[in-house]
Amino acid sequence: MVVLTAVATILPYPYSQIAADAITRLRNTVRDTTGRRTLPPTPSGPEVTGPVRWTRDRYGSRFAVTAPITTDDQPERWYLWDIDACGHQAFTVHSGYYPTPEAALTAWQTGVGPTAAGTELAPVDDPWLLADLLPAEEGPLRAGGENTEQFAEYHRSKRLAEAVKHASRRRTPPDRGLNAATAAAEFATWLRDREQELPEDPDEMASELADSWCINNIDAVFTACSPHRVALFMQHVHGFYVNDFAVRLVALLPRLDPLAGRTHGHTARTD
Protein backbone atom coordinates (compact mmCIF):
# COMPACT_ATOMS: atom_id res chain seq x y z
CA MET A 1 0.00 0.00 0.00
CA VAL A 2 2.86 2.39 0.78
CA VAL A 3 4.40 1.75 -2.64
CA LEU A 4 1.07 2.21 -4.43
CA THR A 5 0.48 5.46 -2.56
CA ALA A 6 3.90 6.78 -3.58
CA VAL A 7 3.30 5.80 -7.22
CA ALA A 8 -0.13 7.43 -7.25
CA THR A 9 1.37 10.61 -5.80
CA ILE A 10 4.32 11.18 -8.13
CA LEU A 11 3.63 9.45 -11.43
CA PRO A 12 1.82 11.14 -14.33
CA TYR A 13 -1.38 9.87 -15.89
CA PRO A 14 -2.21 7.07 -16.73
CA TYR A 15 0.20 5.39 -14.29
CA SER A 16 -1.00 7.43 -11.31
CA GLN A 17 -4.58 6.41 -12.07
CA ILE A 18 -3.64 2.73 -12.32
CA ALA A 19 -2.11 2.91 -8.83
CA ALA A 20 -5.10 4.86 -7.47
CA ASP A 21 -7.51 2.28 -8.93
CA ALA A 22 -5.49 -0.52 -7.30
CA ILE A 23 -5.77 1.23 -3.92
CA THR A 24 -9.53 1.58 -4.37
CA ARG A 25 -9.90 -2.13 -5.16
CA LEU A 26 -7.84 -3.04 -2.10
CA ARG A 27 -9.89 -0.73 0.13
CA ASN A 28 -13.08 -2.37 -1.07
CA THR A 29 -11.64 -5.85 -0.46
CA VAL A 30 -9.71 -5.59 2.81
CA ARG A 31 -12.02 -5.19 5.82
CA ASP A 32 -11.84 -5.96 9.52
CA THR A 33 -14.09 -8.42 11.36
CA THR A 34 -16.88 -5.84 11.60
CA GLY A 35 -16.83 -5.22 7.83
CA ARG A 36 -15.21 -1.81 8.05
CA ARG A 37 -12.58 -0.81 5.51
CA THR A 38 -9.17 -0.73 7.14
CA LEU A 39 -6.95 0.74 4.42
CA PRO A 40 -6.38 4.47 3.87
CA PRO A 41 -8.30 6.29 1.14
CA THR A 42 -6.86 7.02 -2.28
CA PRO A 43 -4.40 9.91 -1.96
CA SER A 44 -5.37 13.16 -3.61
CA GLY A 45 -3.03 14.49 -6.26
CA PRO A 46 -1.02 17.71 -6.14
CA GLU A 47 -3.12 20.87 -6.36
CA VAL A 48 -2.25 24.11 -8.13
CA THR A 49 -3.28 26.71 -5.57
CA GLY A 50 -2.69 29.97 -7.44
CA PRO A 51 -1.86 31.58 -10.79
CA VAL A 52 0.94 30.00 -12.80
CA ARG A 53 3.67 32.50 -13.69
CA TRP A 54 6.37 32.60 -16.32
CA THR A 55 9.04 34.64 -18.04
CA ARG A 56 11.60 34.13 -20.79
CA ASP A 57 15.11 35.27 -21.61
CA ARG A 58 15.96 38.02 -24.09
CA TYR A 59 16.21 35.55 -26.97
CA GLY A 60 12.68 34.38 -26.25
CA SER A 61 13.42 30.67 -26.22
CA ARG A 62 14.46 29.90 -22.61
CA PHE A 63 11.51 29.90 -20.20
CA ALA A 64 10.93 29.90 -16.47
CA VAL A 65 7.54 28.48 -15.47
CA THR A 66 6.62 28.38 -11.80
CA ALA A 67 3.42 27.38 -10.03
CA PRO A 68 2.25 27.22 -6.39
CA ILE A 69 1.72 23.55 -5.51
CA THR A 70 0.11 22.06 -2.41
CA THR A 71 0.25 18.33 -1.62
CA ASP A 72 -1.22 16.17 1.14
CA ASP A 73 1.93 16.23 3.21
CA GLN A 74 3.37 19.67 2.36
CA PRO A 75 2.12 23.29 2.45
CA GLU A 76 2.27 25.52 -0.60
CA ARG A 77 5.61 25.56 -2.40
CA TRP A 78 6.62 26.94 -5.78
CA TYR A 79 7.74 24.46 -8.40
CA LEU A 80 10.06 25.71 -11.16
CA TRP A 81 10.53 24.35 -14.68
CA ASP A 82 13.56 25.79 -16.50
CA ILE A 83 12.72 25.06 -20.14
CA ASP A 84 14.81 25.39 -23.31
CA ALA A 85 12.62 25.56 -26.44
CA CYS A 86 15.37 25.72 -29.08
CA GLY A 87 15.86 22.08 -29.96
CA HIS A 88 14.01 19.00 -31.21
CA GLN A 89 11.47 19.45 -28.40
CA ALA A 90 11.00 21.71 -25.40
CA PHE A 91 13.50 20.39 -22.87
CA THR A 92 13.35 20.82 -19.10
CA VAL A 93 16.90 21.77 -18.12
CA HIS A 94 16.18 21.97 -14.39
CA SER A 95 13.17 21.55 -12.10
CA GLY A 96 12.51 21.63 -8.39
CA TYR A 97 10.65 23.16 -5.46
CA TYR A 98 11.39 26.65 -4.10
CA PRO A 99 9.87 28.42 -1.08
CA THR A 100 8.76 31.51 -3.04
CA PRO A 101 8.35 32.59 -6.67
CA GLU A 102 11.16 35.09 -6.13
CA ALA A 103 13.52 32.29 -5.10
CA ALA A 104 12.49 30.28 -8.15
CA LEU A 105 13.12 33.26 -10.44
CA THR A 106 16.53 33.93 -8.90
CA ALA A 107 17.55 30.29 -9.38
CA TRP A 108 16.45 30.41 -13.02
CA GLN A 109 18.26 33.69 -13.70
CA THR A 110 21.43 32.28 -12.17
CA GLY A 111 21.19 29.13 -14.28
CA VAL A 112 20.52 30.93 -17.56
CA GLY A 113 22.99 33.77 -17.12
CA PRO A 114 23.12 37.34 -18.51
CA THR A 115 20.32 36.86 -21.07
CA ALA A 116 17.88 36.41 -18.17
CA ALA A 117 18.98 39.46 -16.19
CA GLY A 118 16.18 41.86 -15.31
CA THR A 119 13.37 39.45 -16.20
CA GLU A 120 10.18 39.40 -14.14
CA LEU A 121 7.52 36.77 -13.61
CA ALA A 122 4.03 37.45 -14.97
CA PRO A 123 0.78 35.44 -15.13
CA VAL A 124 0.69 32.97 -18.03
CA ASP A 125 -1.13 34.60 -20.94
CA ASP A 126 -0.83 31.75 -23.46
CA PRO A 127 -1.93 28.40 -21.98
CA TRP A 128 -1.48 26.70 -25.37
CA LEU A 129 2.20 27.60 -25.44
CA LEU A 130 2.46 26.59 -21.78
CA ALA A 131 1.11 23.14 -22.67
CA ASP A 132 3.66 22.83 -25.48
CA LEU A 133 6.52 23.75 -23.17
CA LEU A 134 5.76 21.65 -20.09
CA PRO A 135 7.06 18.06 -20.03
CA ALA A 136 4.64 15.25 -20.85
CA GLU A 137 4.67 11.51 -20.31
CA GLU A 138 6.51 9.75 -23.16
CA GLY A 139 6.35 6.12 -22.10
CA PRO A 140 9.08 3.88 -20.67
CA LEU A 141 12.30 5.65 -19.74
CA ARG A 142 15.66 4.39 -20.97
CA ALA A 143 17.89 4.43 -17.89
CA GLY A 144 21.35 5.93 -18.24
CA GLY A 145 23.12 6.25 -14.90
CA GLU A 146 20.51 8.36 -13.13
CA ASN A 147 20.31 8.18 -9.35
CA THR A 148 17.21 7.80 -7.20
CA GLU A 149 16.79 11.54 -6.66
CA GLN A 150 17.00 12.26 -10.40
CA PHE A 151 14.40 9.61 -11.21
CA ALA A 152 12.07 10.99 -8.54
CA GLU A 153 12.41 14.56 -9.85
CA TYR A 154 11.93 13.39 -13.42
CA HIS A 155 8.57 11.82 -12.57
CA ARG A 156 7.57 14.61 -10.19
CA SER A 157 8.23 17.23 -12.88
CA LYS A 158 5.89 15.46 -15.30
CA ARG A 159 3.23 14.79 -12.66
CA LEU A 160 3.13 18.43 -11.56
CA ALA A 161 3.14 19.61 -15.18
CA GLU A 162 0.05 17.48 -15.70
CA ALA A 163 -1.63 19.24 -12.77
CA VAL A 164 -0.71 22.67 -14.16
CA LYS A 165 -2.04 21.85 -17.62
CA HIS A 166 -5.25 20.51 -16.09
CA ALA A 167 -5.70 23.76 -14.14
CA SER A 168 -5.02 25.99 -17.18
CA ARG A 169 -8.04 26.88 -19.25
CA ARG A 170 -7.38 26.56 -22.97
CA ARG A 171 -9.96 28.15 -25.22
CA THR A 172 -9.50 29.06 -28.89
CA PRO A 173 -5.84 28.66 -29.87
CA PRO A 174 -4.25 32.06 -30.54
CA ASP A 175 -2.97 33.13 -33.94
CA ARG A 176 0.70 32.21 -33.86
CA GLY A 177 1.66 34.42 -36.79
CA LEU A 178 4.84 33.12 -38.41
CA ASN A 179 5.24 29.37 -38.87
CA ALA A 180 7.33 27.16 -41.14
CA ALA A 181 4.99 27.50 -44.14
CA THR A 182 4.60 31.28 -44.03
CA ALA A 183 8.27 31.77 -43.19
CA ALA A 184 9.32 29.69 -46.19
CA ALA A 185 7.14 31.76 -48.53
CA GLU A 186 8.39 35.06 -47.12
CA PHE A 187 12.01 33.94 -47.20
CA ALA A 188 11.75 32.75 -50.81
CA THR A 189 10.38 36.18 -51.75
CA TRP A 190 13.19 37.85 -49.84
CA LEU A 191 15.76 35.71 -51.68
CA ARG A 192 14.34 36.73 -55.07
CA ASP A 193 14.55 40.40 -54.11
CA ARG A 194 18.23 40.19 -53.25
CA GLU A 195 20.79 41.46 -55.71
CA GLN A 196 22.79 38.25 -55.98
CA GLU A 197 22.63 34.86 -57.61
CA LEU A 198 19.70 32.72 -56.50
CA PRO A 199 19.86 29.00 -55.77
CA GLU A 200 18.40 26.80 -58.50
CA ASP A 201 15.37 25.91 -56.38
CA PRO A 202 14.69 28.83 -53.98
CA ASP A 203 11.22 27.61 -52.94
CA GLU A 204 12.45 24.13 -52.02
CA MET A 205 15.51 25.51 -50.24
CA ALA A 206 13.44 28.03 -48.29
CA SER A 207 11.00 25.29 -47.28
CA GLU A 208 13.78 22.97 -46.07
CA LEU A 209 15.41 25.85 -44.20
CA ALA A 210 12.17 26.80 -42.45
CA ASP A 211 11.35 23.21 -41.50
CA SER A 212 14.81 22.74 -40.01
CA TRP A 213 14.79 26.03 -38.13
CA CYS A 214 12.00 25.09 -35.70
CA ILE A 215 11.93 21.31 -35.66
CA ASN A 216 9.97 21.16 -32.39
CA ASN A 217 6.94 22.57 -34.28
CA ILE A 218 6.15 25.10 -31.55
CA ASP A 219 5.10 28.01 -33.76
CA ALA A 220 5.06 30.47 -30.87
CA VAL A 221 8.89 30.27 -30.66
CA PHE A 222 9.53 30.11 -34.41
CA THR A 223 10.95 33.64 -34.54
CA ALA A 224 13.22 33.17 -31.51
CA CYS A 225 16.87 33.34 -32.52
CA SER A 226 19.83 32.71 -30.26
CA PRO A 227 23.37 31.37 -30.68
CA HIS A 228 22.06 28.19 -29.09
CA ARG A 229 19.38 27.77 -31.75
CA VAL A 230 21.91 28.45 -34.52
CA ALA A 231 24.22 25.82 -33.03
CA LEU A 232 21.43 23.23 -32.87
CA PHE A 233 20.27 24.16 -36.38
CA MET A 234 23.77 23.59 -37.74
CA GLN A 235 24.02 20.25 -35.94
CA HIS A 236 20.63 19.12 -37.21
CA VAL A 237 21.24 20.16 -40.83
CA HIS A 238 24.63 18.48 -41.08
CA GLY A 239 23.32 15.36 -39.36
CA PHE A 240 20.09 15.07 -41.37
CA TYR A 241 21.05 16.05 -44.95
CA VAL A 242 23.84 14.90 -47.24
CA ASN A 243 26.83 17.19 -46.88
CA ASP A 244 26.53 19.08 -50.18
CA PHE A 245 22.89 19.98 -49.57
CA ALA A 246 23.60 20.89 -45.94
CA VAL A 247 26.33 23.31 -47.03
CA ARG A 248 23.98 24.93 -49.55
CA LEU A 249 21.27 25.23 -46.91
CA VAL A 250 23.51 26.80 -44.28
CA ALA A 251 24.84 29.26 -46.86
CA LEU A 252 21.35 30.75 -47.15
CA LEU A 253 21.28 31.94 -43.54
CA PRO A 254 21.51 35.75 -43.62
CA ARG A 255 24.73 37.23 -42.20
CA LEU A 256 25.62 34.01 -40.38
CA ASP A 257 28.71 34.36 -38.24
CA PRO A 258 30.91 31.32 -39.06
CA LEU A 259 31.49 30.88 -35.30
CA ALA A 260 27.81 31.03 -34.39
CA GLY A 261 27.43 27.31 -34.83
CA ARG A 262 30.02 26.80 -32.12
CA THR A 263 28.54 29.29 -29.68
CA HIS A 264 26.19 28.09 -26.95
CA GLY A 265 24.00 30.95 -25.84
CA HIS A 266 22.43 29.14 -22.89
CA THR A 267 23.91 27.76 -19.72
CA ALA A 268 22.81 24.24 -18.81
CA ARG A 269 21.93 23.48 -15.22
CA THR A 270 23.77 20.51 -13.77
CA ASP A 271 21.99 20.23 -10.43
Distance CA 193, CA 83 (A): 37
Helix/strand/coil (H/E/C) assignment for every residue in 33-68:
CCCCECCCCCCCCCEECCCCEEEECCCCCEEEEEEE
Q: What pLDDT, in 10s, does the model give residues 214-227? A: 888 899 999 898 88
Q: Cβ distance 201 to 34 under 8 Å?
A: no
pTM of the predicted model over 0.75: yes
pLDDT tens column, 36-88: 777 766 667 789 999 999 999 999 999 999 999 998 778 899 999 999 999 88
